[in-house]
Amino acid sequence: MIIASNIEEIENAFDFTDSIITGVKWVNHLTDLSISVDCYWDIQDGKSETRELTLFLRTA
């Protein structure tokens, strides 16, 4: 888990070039935004499975 205070910290940790957003939803009484991303670049890197990353934007 990575806790970041801004989007730049997340962009420095992950490359979203070859990714697909698979879900967007409001959670926590509609105050937080959850974004699910399929990181399919893992397949290009020779892995057999992809990872799904979920970003939570608090008080969005």
Return the beta strands (E) in the chain as ranges. 20-27, 32-39, 51-57
Looking at per-residue confidence, does 31 or 60 come out higher? 31
Query: Are 31 and 23 within 8 A, CB to CB?
Result: no
Q: What percent of the chain has pLDDT over 90?
A: 18
pLDDT over 80 (residue 19): yes
Torsions phi, psi for 14 (to 5 deg): -130, 145
